[in-house]
Chain A
Amino acid sequence: DTGVSQDPRHKITKRGQNVTFRCDPISEHNRLYWYRQTLGQGPEFLTYFQNEAQLEKSRLLSDRFSAERPKGSFSTLEIQRTEQGDSAMYLCASSFSLPNEQFFGPGTRLTVL
């Protein structure tokens, strides 16, 4: 296990379709985070898990977005009825509990046509 991995790396979809992304954190880490990054901006926090519990959700996470971490290991982020405004890089990060640094994955770039 060499780091955080994300799958797929790129996703192109048509507006209205559903997409799901996967994140595999560093195995010892109990915290997992999802961010969205648009071009020329810093990452924006979406949500995070401690083990399998989703502890915080940003207001950016509309009801079309859902995230799960069923066994406290990998996580999925699903976007339903995608919109063009959802086009962005979706980053996953993991860490031990505070105050440790977050380790980022390579991201999934979503393009909604």
Chain B
Amino acid sequence: AQTVTQSQPEMSVQEAETVTLSCTYDTSESDYYLFWYKQPPSRQMILVIRQEAYKQQNATENRFSVNFQKAAKSFSLKISDSQLGDAAMYFCAYRSHDMRFGAGTRLTVKP
């Protein structure tokens, strides 16, 4: 069974600084997709960034980038120039057939 582990229940970052959220996963599949979703308080989940496992190049979306290490089964999210609006729960997710989510990391941004 595929499992997704987020080892940091909470993280904090100063506004304008950079923070990295960790995620590891376990799978025997070779073809899959990895996602980071953001869930602001009392608001719905939105996609932050997506990575296809067959692509070696790390995905980047504006201030958000990933460090995808397939052999290590690691998929960390880097948020650069953190903004107050980045405060949210962040979920790492793995998708081969169904979608599996980690337990989440609560990110606090300090002004």
Q: Is the CB of A56 within 8 A of B98?
A: yes
Interface flag for B46 (CB, 8 Å): yes
A43 at the binding interface (Cβ < 8 Å): yes
Contact partners of B100 in chain A: CB under 8 A? 45
Partner of B44, one of A33, A44, A56, A105: A105
Task: Decide if A107 is an interface residue (CB 8 Å cutoff).
Answer: yes
A42-B102, A42-B104, A104-B45 known; A99 vs B33 contact (CB < 8 Å) = yes
| Bound form: Cα–Cα A104–B40 in Å | 13
Count, chain B residues at interface, CB 8 A? 22
Chain B residues with Cβ under 8 A from A56's Cβ? 97-98
CB of A72 within 8 A of chain B?
A: no
Total A-B pairs, Cβ < 8 A: 48
Give A58 to B50 CA distance when docked, in angstroms: 24
> Is A26 in contact with chain B by the CB < 8 A criterion?
no
Query: Contacts A104-B44, A105-B44 known; A43 to B101 CB distance under 8 Å?
Result: yes
Q: B84 on the interface (CB 8 Å rule)? A: no
B59 at the interface (CB under 8 A from A): no
Chain B residues near A43 (CB-CB < 8 A): 45, 91, 99, 101
| B104 partner residues in chain A, CB cutoff 8 A | 40-42
In whole Å, how far is A63's beta carbon from the nearest beta carbon of chain B?
20
How long is the Cα–Cα vector from A44 to B103 in the complex, in angstroms? 10
A58 partner residues in chain B, CB cutoff 8 A: 98
Cα A33 to Cα B98 in complex, Å, equals 9
B16 within 8 A of A: no
CB distance from B18 to the nearest CB of A (A): 24
Given A40-B103, A41-B103, A43-B91, verify A101-B98 contact (CB < 8 Å).
no
14 more A-B contacts (CB under 8 A) besides A40-B103, A43-B45? A41-B104, A42-B4, A42-B93, A42-B102, A43-B101, A45-B98, A56-B98, A93-B45, A98-B33, A98-B95, A102-B99, A104-B44, A106-B44, A107-B44
Q: Which 3 residue pairs of A and B lie closest in terms of their CB atoms, listed nearest first?
A: A42-B101, A104-B45, A106-B44
